[in-house]
């Protein structure tokens, strides 16, 4: 990768759009997953009894749907990210590549 | 290759025959369906190895299957790497023993994946070539960074390999009634054949096949358990509570996480450690581009999440079924035959008789084989690609590198077998934890900062990385798992079993501090090189083996 190529790409507003959009989405989703997971861990550490609450008249506790929800939601966040990244971000990347085609 | 095959079959037969001799001692019938299914798996995977061997010519073929793996295939392979025997037998056994505490473990093992996708996956693909050290060494000093990365990789690989080998030996001993040493030797021989002849292509396909077998086998078990309870989790929970000595306590968190510091520390080790496991990281170089790299994480996360859901059902099913009157046949002197980790194996016998027991046993064996093959390849690439091809002999031809790689695979394999036999009767419970600790404290900080922090210098990465590595190892030795349980001291000097919270922090501070203090001309140049690296990381322009649009 030569200096001219780097400078041309860095001067391209689409490049900054790509980087900031992708970073923002990654940080938002990442923070969401981390908050969800650590909230779960901290409840276990500080207030175990809360998770021992039974669902209605059932023997099953709310701890099970919560664990299931964390697994499913973690998966869904990856789906959200990749849907955006593989369409919008990928298009932007291709446009950037197209703009510097003469140097590639 | 056929000579080796013939030799292996003879060894296998002798080993099974030897197992027959110990039949009285272990009170275990020779499991014919298991042996047949296992032989089918071996023949099938060796067929794939033969096919892959013809396609594996260059170093790129050997390490990354020429970058020709699709996102879906890679997702299955990553999930396969993660669904080791420890995950399958260990976590279902933990749920069988403690109930919900095992579920917490399972959940903690998943959340690292979304984070890897958001911050690492595509950058890894855009910057790397064969190993994660390629990324860290992109703009930093080859010699220092490669040495450190190889050190980190090999520590993780060896610890993981010992844990898997010892687990394999014991498992096969129980399942097939085979002698421990034979079992470890056989696993070692097979993995050396897969990896030396078939390289990454064979390793990936062995992993994919095993992932499919494991997912379908455990799914079948979960469905059978639920079928028995008319597909009501509540009925399953009621029976499990009745049959477990802990009673209702199995349905909520127990003593697994007692204080917030250990909880956060364990979560950190599992999350950041996953992003520093060399055998998982190298999978991101086997796909064609960043798009496929992202897709592979989505598939992997989906498969792993699904796996934990069905493992939870299987674990509670094991409580409900094995702790009943009919389950008594699986106990000797009040203990589950072969230990709690055998819970799901015995459950398979109760649910589907000898044939299904055979299938699950073969799957467990296949799981170990596939995971150790991936580990061996990762270990070999750290030596042959990072150390040999980049530090010792940068002028080496492609042919020579492949040759050295194959030699290192054999060496790593022999080391694995030797250590597996040496650690037979040792307490190895801390090893996987330590592997994750080192991955999180040495590999991850360097990798992460080299991608995101302009100010990182060779000196900072080298000193800080080693500080992280040494801190992780020292704290584990001074902690309860080694200091108390192995060395027999009364009280641990360091009170927490998982040191990640401390060792990761120390590593990041160390790297930051020594990078900041580095005002050499070389450091200045390294910071300037970040611009070009960042453009490549973000766009994939100039990435190794990338498909140009």
Q: Which residue of A has its CA nearest to B528?
A: A3
> Which of B253, B271, B532 shows the shortest C-beta gap to A51?
B253
Q: In terms of C-beta density within 10 A (0-12 exposed, 13-18 middle, 19 or more buried), how is residue B315 classed?
A: buried
> Which of A46, A78, A98 shows the shortest C-beta gap to B301?
A78
Q: State the ipTM, two decimals.
A: 0.94
**Is A42 in contact with B260 (Cβ distance < 8 A)?**
yes
Alpha-helical regions (H) of B56-179: 59-64, 71-82, 85, 91-98, 100-110, 112-116, 122-127, 133-136, 142-176
Summarize pLDDT for B13-42 with one digit per residue, the tens: 444 444 443 333 344 566 788 888 888 989
Give pLDDT < 70 ranges for chain B. 1-30, 257-258, 545-549
Q: Is the dihedral of CA B226, B229, B235, B239 positive or negative?
A: negative
Chain B: nearest CA to A46, how far in angstroms?
7
Q: Kindly report the pTM of this predicted structure.
A: 0.90
Q: Which residue of B has its CA nearest to A36?
A: B111
Could you tell me which of B166, B143, B146, B142 has the C-alpha nearest to residue B154? B146
Q: Is the dihedral of CA A53, A54, A59, A62 positive or negative?
A: negative
Q: Which residue of B has its CA nearest to A58?
A: B234
Give CA B216 to chain center in angstroms.
20
Chain A: nearest CA to B287, how far in angstroms?
15
Could you write out the three-class secondary structure of B376-422?
A: HHHHHHHHHHHHHHHHHCCCCCHHHHHHHHHHHHHHHHHHHHHHHHH
Query: What is the pLDDT at residue B36?
Result: 87
Query: What is the pLDDT at residue B441?
Result: 95
Query: What is the pLDDT at residue B278?
Result: 93
Summarize pLDDT for A34-43 with one digit per residue, the tens: 999 989 988 9
Alpha-carbon distance B342 to B344, whole Å? 6
Chain B: nearest CA to A78, how far in angstroms?
6
Summarize pLDDT for A52-93 with one digit per residue, the tens: 999 999 999 999 999 999 999 999 999 999 999 999 999 999
Structure tokens at B391: 């530090």
**Is A29 in contact with B298 (Cβ distance < 8 A)?**
no
Query: What is the pLDDT at residue B5?
Result: 55
Q: Are B173 and B183 in contact (CB under 8 A)?
A: yes
In a 3-state reduction of DSSP, which class is residue B299? helix
Query: What is the pLDDT at residue B9?
Result: 54
**Is A15 in contact with B538 (Cβ distance < 8 A)?**
yes
**Is B114 in contact with A19 (Cβ distance < 8 A)?**
no
Any idea which of A11-20, A25-34, B248-257 has the lowest mean pLDDT? B248-257
User: What residues does each domain of chain B span?
Assistant: 2-53+71-427
In a 3-state reduction of DSSP, which class is residue B424? coil
> Which of A9, A42, A59 shows the shortest C-beta gap to B539?
A9
Please write down the long-range contacts of B37-40, taking CB distance under 8 Å and 24 or more positions apart: B37/B358, B37/B359, B37/B361, B37/B362, B38/B176, B38/B361, B38/B362, B38/B365, B38/B366, B39/B12, B40/B362
Q: What number of H helices and E strands is found in chain A?
A: 5, 0
Q: Are B430 and B476 in contact (CB under 8 A)?
A: yes
Pick the CATH number of B2-53+71-427 from 3.20.20.70, 1.20.1730.10, 2.60.120.920, 2.60.200.30: 1.20.1730.10
């Amino acid at each position: 990768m030569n200096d001219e190529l780097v400078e041309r790409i860095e001067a391209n507003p689409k490049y900054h759009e790509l980087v900031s959009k992708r970073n923002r989405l990654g940080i938002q989703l990442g923070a969401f997953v981390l908050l969800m997971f650590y909230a779960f861990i901290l409840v276990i550490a500080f207030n175990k009894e809360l998770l021992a609450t039974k669902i209605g008249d059932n023997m099953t506790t709310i701890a099970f749907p919560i664990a299931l929800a964390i697994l499913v939601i973690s998966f869904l966040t990856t789906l959200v990210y990749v849907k955006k990244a593989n369409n919008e971000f990928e298009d932007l990347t291709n446009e950037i590549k197209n703009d510097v085609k003469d140097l590639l | 290759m056929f000579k080796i095959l013939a030799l292996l079959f003879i060894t296998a037969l002798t080993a099974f025959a030897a197992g027959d001799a110990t039949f009285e001692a272990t009170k275990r019938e020779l499991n014919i369906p298991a042996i047949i299914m296992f032989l089918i798996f071996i023949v099938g995977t060796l067929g794939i190895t033969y096919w892959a061997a013809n396609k594996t010519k260059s170093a790129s073929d050997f390490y990354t299957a020429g970058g020709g793996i699709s996102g879906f295939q890679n997702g299955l392979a990553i999930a396969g790497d993660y669904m080791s025997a420890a995950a399958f037998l260990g976590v279902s056994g933990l749920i069988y023993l403690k109930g919900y505490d095992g579920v917490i473990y399972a959940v903690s093992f998943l959340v690292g994946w979304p984070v890897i996708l958001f911050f690492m996956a595509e950058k890894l693909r855009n910057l790397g070539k064969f190993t994660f050290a390629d990324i860290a060494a992109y703009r930093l000093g080859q010699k220092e960074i490669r040495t450190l990365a190889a050190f980190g990789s090999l520590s993780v690989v060896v610890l993981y390999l010992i844990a898997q080998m010892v687990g394999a030996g014991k498992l096969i001993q129980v399942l097939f009634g085979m002698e421990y040493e034979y079992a470890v030797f056989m696993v070692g021989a097979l993995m050396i054949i897969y990896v030396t002849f078939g390289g990454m292509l064979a390793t990936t396909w062995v992993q994919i096949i095993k992932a499919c077998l494991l997912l379908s086998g455990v799914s079948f078990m979960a469905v059978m358990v639920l079928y028995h309870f008319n597909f009501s989790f509540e009925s399953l929970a009621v029976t499990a509570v009745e049959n477990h000595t802990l009673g209702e306590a199995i349905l909520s968190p127990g003593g697994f996480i007692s204080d917030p510091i250990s909880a956060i520390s364990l979560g950190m080790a599992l999350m950041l450690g996953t992003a520093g496991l060399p055998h998982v990281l190298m999978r991101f170089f086997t796909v064609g581009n960043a798009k496929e790299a992202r897709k592979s994480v989505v598939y992997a996360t989906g498969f792993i999440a699904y796996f934990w859901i069905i493992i939870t059902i299987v674990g509670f099913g094991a409580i409900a079924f094995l702790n009943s009157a009919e389950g008594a046949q699986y106990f000797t002197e009040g203990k589950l035959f072969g230990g709690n980790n055998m819970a799901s194996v015995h459950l398979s016998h109760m649910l589907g008789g000898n044939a299904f027991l055979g299938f699950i046993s073969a799957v467990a064996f296949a799981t170990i084989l596939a995971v150790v093959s991936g580990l061996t390849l990762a270990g070999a690439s750290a030596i042959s690609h990072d150390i040999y091809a980049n530090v010792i002999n940068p002028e080496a031809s492609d042919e020579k590198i492949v040759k050295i790689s194959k030699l290192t695979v054999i060496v790593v394999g022999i080391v694995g077998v030797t250590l597996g036999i040496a650690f037979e009767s040792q307490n190895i419970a801390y090893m996987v934890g330590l592997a994750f600790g080192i991955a999180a404290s040495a590999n991850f900080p360097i990798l992460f900062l080299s991608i995101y922090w302009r100010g990182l210098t060779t000196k900072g990465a080298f000193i800080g990385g080693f500080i992280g590595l040494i801190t992780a190892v020292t704290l584990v030795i001074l902690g309860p798992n080694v200091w108390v349980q192995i060395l027999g001291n009364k009280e641990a000097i360091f009170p927490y079993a998982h040191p990640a919270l401390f060792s990761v922090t120390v590593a990041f501070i160390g790297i930051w501090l020594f990078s900041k203090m580095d005002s050499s001309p070389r450091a200045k140049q390294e910071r300037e090189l970040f611009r070009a690296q960042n453009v490549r990381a973000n766009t994939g322009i100039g990435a190794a083996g990338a498909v140009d649009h």
